[in-house]
Chain A
Amino acid sequence: MTDASRNFRELRLDGVGRDFGGLSALRDVNLTIKRGEFIALLGPSGCGKTTALNSIAGLLPLTHGAIFLDDRRIDLLRPEERGFGMVFQNYALFPHMTVQRNVGFGLAMRGRPRAEIDRKVDEALALVRLQAHAAKLPGQLSGGQQQRVAIARAIVIEPPLVLMDEPLSNLDAKLRLEMRSEIRRIHGLLGSTTIYVTHDQDEALSLADRIVVMREGVVRQVGTPAELYSRPAHADVAEFMGFRNLLPTRIAGQNGAFAQLSVGRATIEGTPMQPNTAADAIVAIRPEDLVVRPDGPVAAAVETSEYRGRSFFGTARTPEGLELFFRSDRPVRTGEPVQLAADPTQVLVYAGEKVL
């Protein structure tokens, strides 16, 4: 057992790629992860995020590139030689072992003495608040409890890296929120370096120190949650970060830092996200930033409207037929004409002619 040191400085992915047959599921991924960081790999299904995680865990051999832990190359090691803790999407608890034996499995495989295993398993179960269930089989636990056993099992070996593959996707909405804070609490306590795969941007934004947005096997953007939320680098990242309005536009002129955009017949102002954007571009606006205001420049007719507590969200159509997602502080009726406006700092302009 060549236990990787917990005191590494960084994990480096160097031009990592993985082909399946003729298809490349992962292309030229370069990423440096510092010790203690919580990294989320975010993207739609099929974007290569799970492939990336399995490659780091050693469950999938790479076809291109290399992975380094500090200066040690680890991508040629078998998974059992890497010593990373992994939490699987379906938990992958050993159904024939008690919770206690499940959690102690990694330590037992390392040949640790009985007393040490018992002590560490107790600590780990206390951490996930499952001491009372130590003697049960996984089948006797609820989904959330099984999830916590899986986390305890992965962290009890004190791995240099904890890998989590959509760990909350099988839970219901309420449990998901609870487990999210649970994961954040445990990460805060242990400070373990974590790579967390998810397709839920809320999860990524709330948990991660840095988010890696992936699409079609390629890293599209790496940044802090705040950077990604307010300044997505590409239109497809913006779409993933909740910019539901992605409209074709023409840049008509410049007004200080803002660009003059014609959307349909209306003219609005927006922030160019890329230098030298051609005249034909894409404008991205979040529904919550496109609001009903009497002096708004964009005229549209309300098509649907739903009550969401503080405000109303709805869809409206411009005379040119563009569909808009908007917010309103007052109730609006179907068919009602409205004027919509957006703060130019929240209107992002990207290069490209057609909406994805």
Chain B
Amino acid sequence: MSAIARESTARRREHPPLSIRLAARGLDGITLLVVPAVVFVLLLFVYPFLYGLWLSFQPKEGGWLANYAKFFADPFLYETIGKTLWIAVPATLFNVAVSVPVAMRVRLMRRQRLLTTILILPITLGTVLVAEGMLNYLGPKGWMNQSLMFLGLIDRPIRLVHNYWGVFLSLVITGFPFTFLLTLSYITGIDPSLEQAAATLGANARQRFSQVVLPLLASGLAITFCLSFVQAFAVFPSAVLLGAPAGPTRVISIAAYEAAFEQYDYSLASAIAMVMALVQLVIVIAVLAGRALLYRGSASGAKG
């Protein structure tokens, strides 16, 4: 080996090219593929969020916290938090609770795809179409009440729309498929031989579920709850169409809408949106903190 070559080898060893040093830290050409996504997130999420945050501190009158002071001073505004939670939390819990037994059954079925398609339909239809359908079928003059009265089971129509239950049902119908698909994916991730092992060890169906399936599923259900809850918390169309938007279903997004498009107070609307985000964040953080206490490892019985 010539002296020059030896020298250049030595120099290379001291200073590998920049591209190699960057690649060692996980930065190479492929990393550039995230650029469009980053731009997208910056433009559609980070910028509006920061702009809204700034705007919420620029009230029409008063000091920089005047919007927030106004929100928490006016029961017509601050009560929307409780009302929204009172709809979103039970509806989400209901969806998560019902999705578990359904998914337990469905994972054993052979025609899963057909069923999944049927379940996804409500998502693709959208809230407004579902609301319209519910108004037709469940309204005082709707098919259900007419049939029940015809059969003599009830004397006067059951009120299922334009109140709390209308919104609740709508959140169940549109939210359940999403919750179910998430739960199904978590349940199919549990190795079936674990339940078989539990059975051979003498555990009956109830014990197999409570001792083996549920502990392995719990952390997944926490995630499912968070994602479903965030969707339900933003409920707007069905609260207006199917609920009592001046009364028990005056949810927080209605308050934000009114501030923005009826009072033209964008600053107050931004403040309400920030409060909304904060409430969601508190709930999600609380659930995820609880999840940290659960078993979160692999759900397979095999050597990991």
| Contacting residue for B301 out of A59, A82, A84, A95, CB 8 A | A95
Query: Which residues on B sit within 8 Å (CB–CB) of A154?
Result: 200
Query: Which residues on B sit within 8 Å (CB–CB) of A170?
Result: 302-303
Question: Is B194 located at the chain interface by the 8 A CB criterion?
Answer: yes
Is the CB–CB distance between A80 and B193 below 8 Å?
Answer: no
Determine the distance from Cα of A93 to Cα of B194 in the docked complex, in whole angstroms.
7
Determine the distance from Cα of A153 to Cα of B202 in the docked complex, in whole angstroms.
12
Is the CB–CB distance between B297 and A80 below 8 Å?
Answer: no
Is the CB–CB distance between B203 and A105 below 8 Å?
Answer: yes
Is the CB–CB distance between A109 and B201 below 8 Å?
Answer: yes
Query: Which residues on B sit within 8 Å (CB–CB) of A138?
Result: 301, 304
Question: Is A78 located at the chain interface by the 8 A CB criterion?
Answer: yes
Is the CB–CB distance between A90 and B303 below 8 Å?
Answer: yes
Question: Is B204 located at the chain interface by the 8 A CB criterion?
Answer: yes
Minimal beta-carbon separation of B115 from chain A (angstroms): 21
Determine the distance from Cα of A104 to Cα of B297 in the docked complex, in whole angstroms.
21
Known: A95-B295, A95-B299. A59 touches B202 (CB 8 A): no
Query: Interface residues of A toward B: which range?
Result: 20 to 34
Minimal beta-carbon separation of A153 from chain B (angstroms): 7
Determine the distance from Cα of A106 to Cα of B301 in the docked complex, in whole angstroms.
16
Is the CB–CB distance between B301 and A88 below 8 Å?
Answer: yes
CB nearest to A156 among chain B residues: B201
Known: A90-B303, A146-B303. A95 touches B200 (CB 8 A): no
Is the CB–CB distance between B302 and A59 below 8 Å?
Answer: no
Query: Which residues on A sit within 8 Å (CB–CB) of B295?
Result: 95-96
CB nearest to A110 among chain B residues: B202
Query: Which residues on A sit within 8 Å (CB–CB) of B215?
Result: 96
Determine the distance from Cα of A157 to Cα of B201 in the docked complex, in whole angstroms.
8
Question: Is A139 located at the chain interface by the 8 A CB criterion?
Answer: yes
Query: Which residues on A sit within 8 Å (CB–CB) of B199?
Result: 58-59, 78-80
Query: Which residues on B sit within 8 Å (CB–CB) of A85?
Result: 200-201
Determine the distance from Cα of A1 to Cα of B200 in the docked complex, in whole angstroms.
12
Is the CB–CB distance between A92 and B203 below 8 Å?
Answer: no
Q: Give the residues from 154 to 205 in chain B that come closer than 8 angstroms, CB to CB, to chain A.
A: 191, 193-194, 196-204
Query: Which residues on A sit within 8 Å (CB–CB) of B301?
Result: 88, 90-95, 138
Query: Which residues on A sit within 8 Å (CB–CB) of B276?
Result: none
Question: Is B9 located at the chain interface by the 8 A CB criterion?
Answer: no
Query: Which residues on A sit within 8 Å (CB–CB) of B201?
Result: 80, 85, 105-106, 109, 153, 157
Interface contact tally, CB-CB below 8 A: 96
Question: Is B106 located at the chain interface by the 8 A CB criterion?
Answer: no
A-contact bits for B201-220, CB 8 A (1 contact / 0 none): 11110010001100110000
B-contact bits for A127-170, CB 8 A (1 contact / 0 none): 00000000001110001001000000110010000010000001
A-contact bits for B278-301, CB 8 A (1 contact / 0 none): 000000000000000001011111
Determine the distance from Cα of A88 to Cα of B300 in the docked complex, in whole angstroms.
12
| Contacting residue for A139 out of B194, B202, B211, B297, CB 8 A | B297
Query: Which residues on A sit within 8 Å (CB–CB) of B212?
Result: 94
CB nearest to A89 among chain B residues: B193
Minimal beta-carbon separation of A6 from chain B (angstroms): 15
Query: Interface residues of B toward A: which range?
Result: 20 to 34
Is the CB–CB distance between B191 and A80 below 8 Å?
Answer: no
Query: Which residues on B sit within 8 Å (CB–CB) of A47?
Result: none
- Point out which of B212, B297, B301 has the most chain A C-beta atoms below 10 A from its C-beta: B301
Determine the distance from Cα of A105 to Cα of B201 in the docked complex, in whole angstroms.
7
Determine the distance from Cα of A139 to Cα of B87 in the docked complex, in whole angstroms.
41
Is the CB–CB distance between A86 and B200 below 8 Å?
Answer: yes
Is the CB–CB distance between A88 and B203 below 8 Å?
Answer: no
- Point out which of B193, B211, B298, B303 has the most chain A C-beta atoms below 10 A from its C-beta: B303
Is the CB–CB distance between A80 and B202 below 8 Å?
Answer: yes
Determine the distance from Cα of A90 to Cα of B301 in the docked complex, in whole angstroms.
6
Q: Give the residues from 103 to 150 in chain B that come closer than 8 angstroms, CB to CB, to chain A.
A: none
Determine the distance from Cα of A206 to Cα of B146 in the docked complex, in whole angstroms.
76
Query: Which residues on B sit within 8 Å (CB–CB) of A88?
Result: 193, 196-197, 301
Query: Which residues on A sit within 8 Å (CB–CB) of B203?
Result: 80, 105, 109
Query: Which residues on B sit within 8 Å (CB–CB) of A59?
Result: 196, 199-200
Query: Which residues on A sit within 8 Å (CB–CB) of B193?
Result: 88, 90, 92
Is the CB–CB distance between A143 and B200 below 8 Å?
Answer: no
Known: A80-B204, A96-B297, A109-B203. A91 touches B198 (CB 8 A): no
Determine the distance from Cα of A106 to Cα of B300 in the docked complex, in whole angstroms.
19
Determine the distance from Cα of A205 to Cα of B178 in the docked complex, in whole angstroms.
54
Determine the distance from Cα of A92 to Cα of B191 in the docked complex, in whole angstroms.
8
Q: Give the residues from 80 to 123 in chain A that come closer than 8 angstroms, CB to CB, to chain B.
A: 80, 82-86, 88, 90-96, 105-106, 109-110
Minimal beta-carbon separation of A161 from chain B (angstroms): 10
Determine the distance from Cα of A143 to Cα of B302 in the docked complex, in whole angstroms.
9
Query: Which residues on A sit within 8 Å (CB–CB) of B207?
Result: 109
Q: Give the residues from 173 to 197 in chain A that come closer than 8 angstroms, CB to CB, to chain B.
A: none
Minimal beta-carbon separation of B194 from chain A (angstroms): 5
Query: Which residues on B sit within 8 Å (CB–CB) of A57?
Result: 196, 200
Q: Give the residues from 250 to 285 in chain A that come closer than 8 angstroms, CB to CB, to chain B.
A: none
- Point out which of B201, B298, B300, B303 has the most chain A C-beta atoms below 10 A from its C-beta: B201
8 A–B pairs (Cβ distance < 8 Å), ordered by A:
A94-B212, A95-B295, A95-B299, A95-B301, A109-B201, A109-B203, A154-B200, A170-B302
Give 8 nearest A-B pairs by CB, closest first.
A92-B301, A96-B295, A106-B201, A90-B302, A92-B197, A109-B202, A79-B199, A92-B193
Besides A96-B215, A106-B202, A109-B202, 5 more A-B contacts (Cβ < 8 Å) are: A88-B193, A92-B194, A94-B197, A105-B201, A109-B198
